[in-house]
Chain A
Amino acid sequence: MNSHLISFQLNTMPVSVETTPDARLIDVLREHFRLTGTKEGCGEGECGACMILLDDRPTLSCLVAIGAIDGKRVITIEGLRETPGFAILAQAFNDAGAVQCGYCTPGMIMIAYALLRDQRDPDESSIRRAMAGNLCRCTGYAMIVEAIRLAATRRGQSW
């Protein structure tokens, strides 16, 4: 397949990359842009570790071909961490003990951010439903659920 110039917005910056359009977004993020906060756990959309925001929607970057995002907006954990909402989420994850190995964490933060953006004060079962596509093998989920609840109570007008 021939290379194409693909242009998109990455963490608020306009970027272009010369690549075959079937390259996976996750590989372009990690290898070309060195944004390794986005993790790969399964490569088939089952684990959620590679979650990013594509035009504000939580999206699994291992399932996205780079050719499909021309002109779109991508936010990775490296971009999200510059927002005020992230600071609250990060502190809540730390306080609740929601981080063990940390490999699922950026994906969890992404889904938590999107959930709290869409719902002001989600209850436990909404949180559990929202994160059901994000696997964590270390925590048993309870402390992550608690972290998101904590962030909801502390969010103020952050996002």
Chain B
Amino acid sequence: MTDNDRTVAIGESMIRPDALTKVRGEERFAVDHYPSGLLWAGVKRAGIPHGHLLSVVTDEAAKIPGVCAVLTAADINGTNRQGVIRKDQPVLVDERIRHCGDPVALVVAETQEILAVALEQIRFEVEPLEPVFDPCAALRSDAPLLHPDHPDGNALFTAHITVGAGENGFADCAEMVEGEFDLPRQAHAFLETENGWARADNDGRVEITVSTQTPFRDRSEVAEALGLSVDRVRIIAPYCGGAFGGKDGITVQSLLALAALHCPGRPVKMWWRREESFLAGVKRHPARLLYRLGADRSGTLAALSVEAWFDTGPYDHLGGVVAALGIEHAGGPYRIPHVDLKTRAVYTNNPVSGAFRGFGVPQVAAAMESMMDLLARRLQLCPLELRRRNALVRGDHCPAGSTRQGSIGLTACLDRLATHPLWTTREQWRAAAGPHRSHGTGIAAVAHGMGYGPLVPDTATAAIELLPDGRFSVQAGVVDMGQGNAATYLQMAADILNQPPDRLLLILPDTDRTFPCGSSSASRTTFTYANALIPAARKLRELLLARASEMMLVQDHREMLLVPGAVRHLPSGRDIELARLGSLLSRDERFVSHHYRAPAARETPSDNSNLRLHGFPHLIFSHAVHLARVEVDELTGRVSVAAYLSISDCGRIINPVVFSGQQEGAVAQGIGYALCEDVLVDRGQIRTADLATYILPTSLDVPPLETLAVSLSEHDGPFGLKGAGEIGIDAPAPALANAVEDACSIRLTRFPLTAERVLGALTERNNPRRS
């Protein structure tokens, strides 16, 4: 066996096959396509937050030489509506403008320069409507309505969950703490902004290559919005240059298809510049949260009350689902017998909120884990001890009422933390602060549910094939947006087929070449697809062994074994090469597919069917405990993260480097969320619309990260794994807020914890009467 035949075990770090092409600059992202004869498409955006669109004047723009098409809602034959749950977002505004980024007209031109001039020439007439920007104000009876056809007014989604005695549970609490929290609007800031290119043939079939997390859902949405049959739309989804939820749903797809259909035969490209990405792309939901948490004197949690408002902006996108996942996780990973939870996703004229890694959980975790520290302080208990005392174990009811049936490694994570040097030496760290500095340590514990919930089918169909040249192709209809799931698929299939990974090719999502596999989201990507792939690969292995034994005139195929590049008859040592086997079999004989549907919770802890539709409850949860060490500059208010530790229970680890990469990247985004990232919006206008004003963490802001895992095995997981993509972003904000309080006895509940806010709180601490 040569080095090239080396196989990679499950649990061993495998170099990602996409890493080399990316390092070399050869990997072609959607944005890297410049087919010859390329046209450029762009959008005229509203620029005002609310109004009736009366007319659009396109004549001047259309007259410019080099302008190929100027299109408005009148050119759309379909529903002109997009959305996942509630289809309420127009491709092009037909009647009402609901935020500044709404698209009013679409222009296609020969060059980007002509496009820019033409977009300037588009005029439209608007009757302004009173806008509403505050979610609480939007719920008042006299608030202007964004969608007058919505039966619940501006309340896109509302849910109320009561467990045990609900609010009455506070009657018996010896101690109670309260808090009011504000979480900011966070931008995904993936480096590859929204883009794609499309081409329509003369028969009206359109192919769209796009940076997306959801190729199959995009196909349906584009078809419905534009009035096409689904077989007229093909979506091709290369690796994304980052996505994090921001490409979970339509961005440029329908606009590109519309443009291409009006310029048949010509490729059309659309690429949102960074400012347009800020203006028109989705963001993490800003949230306002009111918390009350009660316990007995020993620190056993007894009652919790939460009221949550999620600002979803003008369209559903996935706002209802975000609000539902948020409220399911609002009580953290603890036993609390009496719980009252109220959540709302509210329409406003702010920018569109939508999916973002964590999906409602980072908001509530920031509040709940701050509350746990407030309670620990009140009870004079160690924050770690308070969490250990109340940590969920398998079989417990979670705060939202469902039973935790899957593996729970929370206590193992907490125990691991208890002996870790960053925890045991926290007093030394505190004492090591220099003049005008203070040092502190904070922790946070979180759970994160995986998958789509009980009603929306969480499915994937994997296909694997022996090619005539002896390699295998793995057809994965689910996107790799950078997290490395595609590499994990190859690692698993290679393990089952006993082949070196480079003998496996990956077919990336393409609605014409792969089967539907759902979205790359909800920490379900690897769980669901791999659960389809593993049986497919095993079936193919059995099939190949059987056919090889027939060809080699061996009676019992159990004497056969797959070895790198061949099938071997073990007793005789004879091989038949896979290339020969592949060339002797017809495609049907060497192709296997398998469909899988992930298990879902069967209990119905809430009789609210809308809540179930929006994903409640989940069945399988990952867990994590994080620790942050901070230094606070008491003269400037600046918070620096000196060290960071995450300990996670995400089931069995398949590829340690890919796993750590997910945790570290999520922590860095979480540090940004906690300390500096905030899309500022003033009366619907974004004030931080570029990377000069929207501040992302750099290599100087993120400390060395230590990533540990307690490797339990999840019974339902492929090779025992659970979701790992999101949980890392749930804990940094509260861990940092708790560390800041530990350092200098100030409790900030408005995030991000900017130097200005920290300094304000320090000033108040030092001189309370001045405030």
Closest partner residue, chain A, to B696 (CB atom) = A135
B668 smallest CB distance to A (angstroms): 3
Q: Does B664 lie at the interface of the complex (its beta carbon under 8 Å from any beta carbon of A)?
A: yes
Among A2-10, A53-61, A64-72, A103-111, the one that faces the other chain is A103-111
Given known pairs A41-B192, A94-B15, A135-B696, the reply for A102 and B691 (CB within 8 Å) is no
Q: Does A118 lie at the interface of the complex (its beta carbon under 8 Å from any beta carbon of B)?
A: no
Q: How many residues of B contact A (CB 8 A)?
A: 56
Closest partner residue, chain B, to A78 (CB atom) = B25
Interface residues of B in 479-493 (CB under 8 A from A): 481-484
B-side contacts of A109, CB under 8 Å: 23
Q: Please, what's the 1-or-0 string for A111-154, where 1 marks a CB less than 8 Å from any CB in chain B?
A: 00000000000001001110111111111111111000000000
Interface centre among B13, B240, B698 (most CB of A within 10 A): B698
**Considering the chains assembled together, what is the distance between the CA atoms of A102 and B487 in angstroms?**
14
Interface centre among A89, A102, A109, A124 (most CB of B within 10 A): A102
Q: Are A141 and B699 in contact (CB under 8 A)?
A: yes
Q: Does B28 lie at the interface of the complex (its beta carbon under 8 Å from any beta carbon of A)?
A: yes
- A139 touches which of B29, B661, B692 (Cβ 8 Å): B661
Q: Are B274 and A42 in contact (CB under 8 A)?
A: yes
Closest partner residue, chain A, to B695 (CB atom) = A46
**Considering the chains assembled together, what is the distance between the CA atoms of A103 and B242 in angstroms?**
8
Q: Are A94 and B34 in contact (CB under 8 A)?
A: no
Q: Are A31 and B34 in contact (CB under 8 A)?
A: yes
Interface of A is mostly: loop
Q: Does A18 lie at the interface of the complex (its beta carbon under 8 Å from any beta carbon of B)?
A: no
Given known pairs A132-B699, A139-B668, the reply for A103 and B241 (CB within 8 Å) is yes
Q: Does B525 lie at the interface of the complex (its beta carbon under 8 Å from any beta carbon of A)?
A: no
Q: Are A140 and B664 in contact (CB under 8 A)?
A: yes
Closest partner residue, chain A, to B25 (CB atom) = A37
Interface of B is mostly: loop
Closest partner residue, chain B, to A27 (CB atom) = B112
Closest partner residue, chain B, to A93 (CB atom) = B23
Interface centre among B191, B243, B660 (most CB of A within 10 A): B191
Q: Are B23 and A105 in contact (CB under 8 A)?
A: yes
A154 smallest CB distance to B (angstroms): 15
Q: Are B20 and A137 in contact (CB under 8 A)?
A: no
B687 smallest CB distance to A (angstroms): 16
Q: Does A14 lie at the interface of the complex (its beta carbon under 8 Å from any beta carbon of B)?
A: no
A-side contacts of B192, CB under 8 Å: 39, 41, 101, 103
Q: Does B705 lie at the interface of the complex (its beta carbon under 8 Å from any beta carbon of A)?
A: yes
Q: Please, what's the 1-or-0 string for A4-47, where 1 marks a CB less than 8 Å from any CB in chain B?
A: 00000000000000000000000000110011111111111011
Q: Does B700 lie at the interface of the complex (its beta carbon under 8 Å from any beta carbon of A)?
A: yes
Given known pairs A97-B661, A101-B239, A101-B242, the reply for A140 and B702 (CB within 8 Å) is yes
**Considering the chains assembled together, what is the distance between the CA atoms of A140 and B703 in angstroms?**
9
Given known pairs A137-B669, A141-B702, the reply for A42 and B691 (CB within 8 Å) is yes
Interface residues of B in 234-283 (CB under 8 A from A): 239-244, 273-274
Q: Are A94 and B16 in contact (CB under 8 A)?
A: yes
Q: Does B667 lie at the interface of the complex (its beta carbon under 8 Å from any beta carbon of A)?
A: yes
A153 smallest CB distance to B (angstroms): 18
A60 smallest CB distance to B (angstroms): 12
Closest partner residue, chain B, to A99 (CB atom) = B19
Q: Does A155 lie at the interface of the complex (its beta carbon under 8 Å from any beta carbon of B)?
A: no
Interface residues of B in 371-401 (CB under 8 A from A): none
B365 smallest CB distance to A (angstroms): 18
Interface residues of B in 690-730 (CB under 8 A from A): 690-692, 696, 698-700, 702, 704-705
Interface centre among B21, B27, B699 (most CB of A within 10 A): B699
Q: Are B702 and A142 in contact (CB under 8 A)?
A: yes
Given known pairs A42-B691, A101-B190, A103-B192, the reply for A143 and B664 (CB within 8 Å) is yes
- B20 touches which of A49, A77, A94, A124 (Cβ 8 Å): A94
Q: Please, what's the 1-or-0 string for B5-34, where 1 marks a CB less than 8 Å from any CB in chain A?
A: 000000001011011111111111101101
Given known pairs A34-B34, A137-B191, A145-B699, the reply for A95 and B704 (CB within 8 Å) is no
Q: Are A46 and B705 in contact (CB under 8 A)?
A: no
Q: Does A158 lie at the interface of the complex (its beta carbon under 8 Å from any beta carbon of B)?
A: no
B679 smallest CB distance to A (angstroms): 15
Q: Are B24 and A37 in contact (CB under 8 A)?
A: yes
Q: Are A99 and B242 in contact (CB under 8 A)?
A: no
**Considering the chains assembled together, what is the distance between the CA atoms of A139 and B241 in angstroms?**
12
A156 smallest CB distance to B (angstroms): 19
Closest partner residue, chain B, to A96 (CB atom) = B657
Q: Does B665 lie at the interface of the complex (its beta carbon under 8 Å from any beta carbon of A)?
A: yes
Q: Are B191 and A47 in contact (CB under 8 A)?
A: yes
**Considering the chains assembled together, what is the distance between the CA atoms of A41 and B177 in angstroms?**
44
A-side contacts of B668, CB under 8 Å: 139-141
- B191 touches which of A90, A97, A104 (Cβ 8 Å): A104
Closest partner residue, chain B, to A95 (CB atom) = B15
Q: Are B23 and A90 in contact (CB under 8 A)?
A: yes
User: 25 interchain pairs (CB within 8 A)?
Assistant: A30-B34, A31-B34, A35-B25, A37-B25, A37-B26, A39-B191, A39-B192, A42-B692, A43-B273, A47-B691, A77-B24, A78-B25, A94-B20, A100-B483, A101-B22, A101-B192, A101-B240, A102-B239, A103-B482, A105-B23, A139-B665, A140-B702, A141-B699, A141-B702, A145-B699
Chain B interfacial positions (CB closer than 8 Å to A): 13, 15-16, 18-29, 31-32, 34, 188-193, 239-244, 273-274, 481-484, 657-658, 660-661, 664-669, 690-692, 696, 698-700, 702, 704-705
